Amino acid sequence: MSPVWYAAVIGVRRGWTELRQTFTTGQDVFGYVLWTVLLIVPLFLVRDDPLKGAGISTGAFMLPSMLGMTLAFTGMMTTAQLLATEREDGTLLRAKAVPHGMVGHLVGKIIMVSGTALASMALPFAVGVFVVDGVARQGGGALLTLVWVVPLGLLATLPMGAVIGSLVDSPRTIGLLMLPVMGLVVISGIYFPLSKLPEWLQTVGQIFPVYWLGLGLRAALLPADAVAAEIGESWRHLETAGVLGAWTVAGLLLAPSVLRRMARRESGAAMAERHRKAMQRVG
Amino acid sequence: MTTAHALSGAGSSPPPESDTVIDVRDLRMRYRSQDVLKGVGFTARRGEVVLLLGPNGAGKTTTIEVLEGFRMRSAGDVTVLGTDPADGDERWRARLGIVLQSWRDHGKWRVRELLAHLGSYYAPYSTALVRRPWDVDELLAAVGLTEQADKRVGTLSGGQRRRFDVAVGIVGRPEVLFLDEPTAGLDPEARNEFHGLVRGLADENTTVLLTTHDLAEAERLADRILILAGGRIVADGSAEELSRQASAEATVRWTRDGRPFEKATAEPTRFVRRLFEEHGEAIGGLEVRRASLEDTYLTMVRELEAGSVPDERAVHAFGEGSR
């Protein structure tokens, strides 16, 4: 085993350690619970409103959609947030100071964010199936959709998140990015079918992975008849794989060079400067 | 950890061919149109503790970061462990230790857990000569953190945190250790312990290069002091040698008929002799304070700012005995 692979194995262990830490840290656990509450409350309010022509309730439509949104959010925004924070607090510089530490750090981060994403989806899902009817009842083949949509979703969003995290100058910029992201959710068919929007907004929404992850999750978890609410009355598996695949390719092409450039610039002086700025903001 | 065994020996470094561990020649650094380093040159031998001293903005951190391979230089020849840091690979990196100022990174990790994790990256570079990484419990004992082993890093006190930073810096049993202002914010006791730790490392043949603002620390710790000012090394020697080089003056205090006097002079011995010749019994409470490193340093920096750095400094008759 080459030292690079060796560092990757250490990175896997690092990822598990960090997952264990996040699930045993009060503040983090509170975050997962809060997220679940934020998703379940609107779900609860519309649990009995029928979705016209689809044979399911609006709540049933929303649950898988929100799971897809959670996946996109975590993959992209959490990755970006962690990277920007760890650049500022010196975690990355420490990784850079040990042999192949960056490899370990990156592998660890992939495991950590993937695990976080799965947990952030599992919790609302576990609660949601008791709140609304008709989700995840058809079993079998449709559930297989999850097996490719979820990993592909992580692949489409994680590298892009890493690119964003490398390009922003501070973790606080990520906070600002949340505003356009909220806007994106509105045009991604998460809380109501995309077909209710003007056509040009539909087109914009379909550029981003959020819509396709919502669609993929609905395809996996909703009854077959619910397809009536979708654009073209189809689950569009090919298009889903195509768009998510395109984001994956773009992310994997961009991320290594952007990450390398970011890592090259890390030094004690750069970090001290950020520390100083951050402290000024605090004080 | 069978993998670690399989890799043992893969990173075996040859025994040191030369005693020079750090070799810097005519190092130049330019930011936009400003020259920060204008031809820095120095060397450091195996097991030597070399201290870089200088006013803020003199380029101490820049110099260290070039040596660490974290920063590209504008010009000059630099080798660390026989390798140019600009092309240093991970095998080279495994032989360096860098003590970083931690802020709040890895706050959720436990002390032992993080040391073991960071140490494990060094396992492929273990050799018969240098066993890497350092045993975690041994290392914790060496930096005095045994009791804190199971605490989260985020809960350590400032002093404990600095010692932890040092532990992380040396977990790979480095041959060269870089420390940028390691004792900033340490209380006197923690500082004392830290000095002992650094001396111990040097005794085991680790070359240590550190920066500091604390002149008393420089005097106690360093085998050799380099003063970096105006983009150049303006002085290079032990604390004692520097005192002799600089034109810093000794202070003579005395009383004559009960009234206190004070005089700064470059030749205190001659001055005191004359004092007694002239006044004899009337002189009391004689006190001669020779220039401390602080005086020396301030004199040198002042001279430099005034633009009058002599190449060859006159050796002043500060008195024959060494400090």
Contact residues, chain B, for A86 at CB < 8 Å: 105
In angstroms, what separates the C-alpha of A255 from chain B's closest C-alpha? Answer: 21
For strands B96-99 and B176-180, give the pairing: parallel
Mean residue pLDDT of chain B comes to 83
The domain limits of chain B are: 2-237, 246-305
* d(C-alpha B145, C-alpha B142), whole Å: 8
Contact residues, chain B, for A9 at CB < 8 Å: 3
Contact residues, chain B, for A14 at CB < 8 Å: 117
Q: Is the pLDDT of residue B136 over 90?
A: yes
Bridge partners of residue B20, in order along the sequence = B45
What phi and psi, each to the nearest 5 degrees, are found at residue B209?
-120, 120
Per-residue model confidence as pLDDT tens digits over B172-211: 999 999 998 887 767 788 788 888 888 888 998 999 999 8
In angstroms, what separates the C-alpha of A35 from chain B's closest C-alpha? Answer: 21
The model's confidence at residue A61, banded by pLDDT at 50, 70 and 90, is very high
The model's confidence at residue B307, banded by pLDDT at 50, 70 and 90, is low
For chains A and B, what is the number of CB pairs under 8 angstroms? 96
The model's confidence at residue B225, banded by pLDDT at 50, 70 and 90, is very high
Q: Note whether A56 and A134 are within 8 A (CB).
A: yes
Q: Does B124 contact chain A (CB < 8 Å)?
A: yes
- Considering only CA atoms, which of A222, B155, A29 is closest in space to residue A37? A29
Per-residue model confidence as pLDDT tens digits over A90-124: 899 999 999 999 999 999 999 999 999 999 999 99
Which residue of chain B comes nearest to A93, CA vs CA?
Answer: B100
- pLDDT for position B102: 66
Predicted TM-score of the model (pTM): 0.83
Q: Is the pLDDT of residue A256 over 60?
A: yes
The CATH classification of domain B2-237, taken from the options 1.10.1200.30, 3.40.190.10, 3.40.50.970, 3.40.50.300: 3.40.50.300
- pLDDT for position B132: 92
The domain limits of chain A are: 3-282
* d(C-alpha B26, C-alpha B30), whole Å: 13
Look at A264 and B292; give whichever has higher pLDDT.
A264
ipTM entry: 0.88
Q: Note whether B146 and B140 are within 8 A (CB).
A: yes
Structure tokens, B75: 């010009």
Contact residues, chain B, for A101 at CB < 8 Å: 118, 121
Q: Note whether A73 and A153 are within 8 A (CB).
A: no
Q: Is the pLDDT of residue B7 over 60?
A: no
The model's confidence at residue A242, banded by pLDDT at 50, 70 and 90, is very high
Tell me the average pLDDT across A175-192.
91
Which residue of chain A comes nearest to B172, CA vs CA?
Answer: A98
- Considering only CA atoms, which of B211, B200, B232 is closest in space to residue B64? B211
Maximum Cα–Cα distance across chain A:
61
Look at A137 and A206; give whichever has higher pLDDT.
A206
* d(C-alpha B209, C-alpha A74), whole Å: 43
Q: Is the pLDDT of residue A142 over 50?
A: yes
Q: Is the pLDDT of residue A21 over 60?
A: yes
The model's confidence at residue B40, banded by pLDDT at 50, 70 and 90, is very high
Weakest mean pLDDT among A182-186, B98-102, B151-155? B98-102
* d(C-alpha B174, C-alpha B197), whole Å: 14
- Cβ–Cβ gap B117/A10 under 8 Å: yes
- pLDDT for position A124: 96
Q: Note whether A141 and A60 are within 8 A (CB).
A: no
